[in-house]
Amino acid sequence: MKHDLTVGFVALGLVGGSIAKALKHTYPDVKILAYTRRPETAAYALEQNIIDQACREVGEEFSCCDYIFLCAPVEANIAYLEKLKPWLKSDCILTDVGSTKTDIHRHAAALGLDQNFIGGHPMAGSEKTGIENAQWYLIENAYYIITPSKDTPPEKVERYRQLVASLKALPLILDYREHDFVTAAISHLPHIIAATLVNLVHDEDTPEETMRTIAAGGFKDITRIASSSPDMWEQICTTNAENILPVLDAYTESLQKVRAQLAEHDGASIHRLFADSRDYRNSFSDHSAGPLKKVYMLYCDMVDEAGGIAALATILASSGISLRNIGIVHNREFEEAVLRVEFYDEDALKKSVALLRKYRYTVYER
């Protein structure tokens, strides 16, 4: 695989910016050019050396590209297909990073782009948005789903797979229809559940907002994804409704079953619900990232006294460990300790656990 690549980006948000950074990190000689709707985004990308050239429009400037990544919302990416068609080199791979694939594949086929278009979906992200939050390691150890078009030459599929693997992501080749059904269940439905659960608490809260006050721990963990971009999720849901609806129906049916068990005080069935879900959940791999980047955290027992948090932070800082977040846990119904500490990566978490235990802190890993 050649290293003097020229790569184009249409839009640079969290995912697009992270892929651009990963390319710069892996291929120092890569030339990256980008079109962004907002001039300030392009200016930031140039200033931070994320890109080498800002394009005025989606057109002829992209004719030199070996790869082009469409990183706008799903429906916008579809509109850019036609604009790029006249300027694609015969060996250029045109791809996207959208969470749904069927619509864009159908449009690519209608435009006769099957020789160039290969769908892509890095299964990584964050509740934060924008290029300012992009990280070169965002897709590292994350599944990166590749969905070839029916007439995509096998050598192009392999070249794209090798590029994804070189960025330390985990390439997985799927039919685009299978992709949309799978992600409806493991990504799209959970976002809907998180959003409706947050809104339920908002609507059912007491006048004193007691629910909002004590919402922490498990509730915040399972609803964290409700902080994601509403614009993005509107488009994801509308473009993949045909797959979301059947899994939503199945989920609704399972809730009705649980409701009946509660009404009948069927303890055995309720116990089986939690036991089965625990066993299956514990079988999941912990070595790859998901649609949202994993949170690396520990909990620590600590006496409530002046300087306690500062002392712990100093111990970690003296060993070169950076903290992502630190705070007192006020609601500990399901938490093991008083202090919650978050890190940027797994290595920092492991070092911190060993270090704090050396200093005789009681530490719990999540």
**Measured between alpha carbons, how far is 148 from 115 in angstroms, rounded to an integer?**
10
CA 103 to each of CA 46, 92, 182, 333: distance values in angstroms, whole numbers, following the listed order: 32, 21, 16, 45
**Does pLDDT of 264 surpass 60?**
yes
Cβ-based neighbour number of residue 124 at 10 Å: 27
Q: Report whether pLDDT(127) > 70.
A: no
What is the model's pLDDT at position 63?
Answer: 96
**Cα separation, 353 vs 350, whole angstroms:** 5
Buried residues in 309-343 as b, exposed as e (16+ CB within 10 A): beebeebbeeeebeeeebeebeeeeebbbbbbbbb
Going along the chain, which residue ranges are E strands?
Answer: 6-10, 31-35, 53-54, 67-70, 93-96, 118-122, 143-148, 170-173, 296-300, 323-328, 339-343, 363-365
Domain covering 296-365 in this structure, CATH number: 3.30.2130.10
Please work out, in degrees rounded to the nearest 5, the angle formed at the alpha carbon of residue 115 by the alpha carbons of 182 and 99.
25
Indicate the DSSP class of residue 151.
T
User: Residue 332 above 50 pLDDT?
Assistant: no
Taking each helix axis from N to C end, the angle separating 241-263 and 189-204, rounded to the nearest 10 degrees, works out to 50
Residue 167 clears pLDDT 60, i.e. is over it: yes
Q: What percent of the chain has pLDDT over 70?
A: 92
- Tell me, what's the pLDDT at 334? 43
Are the C-beta atoms of 92 and 65 separated by less than 8 Å? yes
Sign of the C-alpha dihedral, residues 163, 168, 173, 174?
A: negative
Mean pLDDT across the stretch 122-148? 87
Q: State the virtual CA torsion across 327, 328, 330, 335 in degrees, nearest 10.
A: 90
Per-residue model confidence (pLDDT) at position 283: 82
Contact 214, 334 (CB under 8 A): no
Cα separation, 197 vs 291, in Å, equals: 19
Q: Which of 73, 84, 74, 71 is nearest to 23 (CA)?
A: 71
CB atoms under 10 Å from CB of 358, counted, come to 9
> Given phi > 0 = left and psi -120 to 50 = alpha, else beta, which region is 354?
alpha
Residue (of 268, 193, 185) closest to 226 by Cα position: 193
On the question of pLDDT at 287 being above 80, the answer is: no
Q: So where are the chain's domains?
A: 6-174, 180-282, 296-365
Q: What number is the average pLDDT over the span 2-15?
A: 91
User: In the chain, pLDDT over 90 holds for what percent of residues?
Assistant: 64
For 307-324, the pLDDT digits (tens) are 888 889 999 999 999 888
- Residue 286 pLDDT: 57
Q: 180-282 architecture in CATH?
A: Orthogonal Bundle (1.10)
Q: Are 123 and 145 in contact (CB under 8 A)?
A: yes
Q: What is the mean pLDDT of the chain?
A: 89
Q: Which top CATH class is 6-174?
A: alpha beta
CA 234 from centroid of its chain's CA atoms: 16
Q: pLDDT tens digits for 192-250?
A: 999 999 999 999 999 999 998 888 667 877 888 788 778 888 988 999 999 999 999 99
Residue 126 pLDDT grade (very low, low, confident, very high; cuts 50, 70, 90): low
| 30 residue type, one letter | V
- The reported pLDDT for the residue numbered 289 is 55
pLDDT one-digit tens code per residue, 102-121: 999 999 999 999 999 999 99
pLDDT digits (tens, 9 = 90+) for 76-103: 999 999 999 999 999 999 999 999 999 9
For 234-253, letters b (16+ CB in 10 Å) and e give ebbbebbeebbeebbeeeee
Residue range 27-33: average pLDDT? 96
Q: How far is CA 284 from the centre of its chain?
A: 17
**Are 53 and 31 contacting, i.e. CB atoms less than 8 angstroms apart?**
yes
Q: With 60 as the cut, is the pLDDT of residue 292 above it?
A: no
C-alpha closest to that of 118 among 69, 167, 165, 64 = 69
Query: What number is the average pLDDT over the span 323-351?
Result: 75
Position 333 confidence tier, pLDDT thresholds 50, 70, 90: very low
- Residue 284's pLDDT is 74
Mean pLDDT of 348-354: 92
